[in-house]
Structure 1
Amino acid sequence: MIDKLRSIAVFATVVDQGSFRAAALSLCLAPSRVSEVVSQLERDLGVTLLYRSTRQLSLTNEGRQLNDAAKVMLGAVETGLDAISPLSKEPSGVLRVAAPAFVTQTDLMETFARFAHAYPKVDLEFHFSDRPSDVIGDGFDVAIRAGWLDDSDLMVRTIGHVDRFLVASPSYFASMPVPKMPSDLENWQWVRFIMRPDQTEMTSKGGDVVKVHGKSSVSVNSASALFEFAVRGLGLTAIPEHLACRGFERGELVHVLPEWNLKPLGLHAVWPNQSRRENITSLFVRFLAGES
């Protein structure tokens, strides 16, 4: 049984690392030995676990089932060792993090950097993209998401928020009647963010809430693209505070209806309920939430 558990751990490392060579480096073994262990495991089980090609490995259905079970097993072992080991004060391992691209221009980068300084034995692998990530399917340990989350099976922790401003270029603003109420913006052209609703919620200083629908002929999947198209006079848009302030300072954007506020974007950390690196993931999330 011990030998089989060891073989399963080697198999899980191959899947995690994406190749026999990378797994061998991680385990300090020869690539031929890693391949031999996985092949023997397949013979013992009487199934094929991995499809091998010259470029990549892919899991069979049986391999996927075993890998899911291995994650649970190894996660439980890692948690148990951390609980009794004096080295638990100095976490180590690789943590794969997904985050929206606009985060690279926010204070969250400072928090990431402080975590890296505080835990130098944790290797951080960041993937910044405005394309929504599949935390489990893409193999991330934790993802940062902005906005308002739908219900899911993922664990969620709110770690902050990002204020937004309604903006337009001076030329586009001047070409339209001066708005006095959000409803005056219904006939304006809007540059929309694909992953957000087609309506914009605005709140007055007195607490009145209004939802505005506007015309839109341009939609994008990037906060930076919202900024660039707004600067070029394609219409009205809602962008994060740091981008809006850049446009204000350069004279490229004006704040539209500043007496009305937009709903802030929530920043959330999401991760699998059974994380393969539960201890490091939990540590990272607590750090982001200010519990370091």
Structure 2
Amino acid sequence: MENLDPTSPKSSNGEDNGEGPSGGSSPPRGNRPLRGNTGLSGLRGGRGTGGATGQRGGGTTIPFLASEKAGDEDPGDNPGEWANLIETHAWDCFKKGNGDYTESTSFGNLKVLSSKRDLYVRKAPAADIFARINSRTQNAEAALAQVKGTPDDNECDRCEKKAGPFTTCVIVEDELNGACANCHWQSNGAACSFRRNKEGATRATRNRGKQPASSAAVTKAIKQKKSDYTQRLRELFKQGEYLQDMVDSTVTTVKTLRSNVEGSQTTLAGVVKSLQKQQTNLTEYHDESKALIDEIMEDWDE
């Protein structure tokens, strides 16, 4: 993690809280010359133009922080010199090597909002906070969000542990990727529980109605099986209809044959009777023929 001031202490959890040198609270350093290695390029506190000029090589008067003026109590919703300084100063972190000055999108979005409070930090002196804002885009965005945003009644996990330089857990809707200003400081936004919860909710919304890949594969296989079964059933129904037609046709044929057989039986009975009658007639004819022949033979003998 970046640390411009090698004397800046760490919090109990090992994170940079933006505090000043260890060994007790530092005396107010706003509006007076800076001494030592502050990491401020071209800054001469107390000898500038009386405001935030943003000129390289010139002077900038660094105002007292609200915490340095108000002691241990947060002054509340009273924007002051630091709120104006953060918004209007030309911070080095936005200056390019070719001399261009381009503020980040988030910083620009935050600037159009109304300031709600002055910057209030835990213990760090003004010069150290100024140096850290000057050195990193995320710090400038975090500081501006802190004076523009809304304190959350339920602090994020890191703010509950007093991580970060600011005394309150402040968020700005749709900015800093859902992280609070304290966590966005020093690029720790990914660790903010607000961002994690938001990303989790976004993923849940995006995946609503969807299933894990393995479950989706199983569902796809089941749907394919159902489709196969449906197709088979349709084929079986068609075959059943065909077989039913064949059965109906066979029944009709049997009925026809039965009628034909019954008709044939009647006809056959008539034929038998006719044959029997013809046989009787033939027998009578034979007997008559024989008698006639016998009579002729007798006459012939005489």
Question: Above 0.5 in TM-score?
Answer: no
Structure with the higher fraction of residues in helix conformation: 2
Which has more radius of gyration? 2
Larger fraction in strand:
1
Say which structure, 1 or 2, has more relative contact order (CA 8 Å, 6+ apart): 1
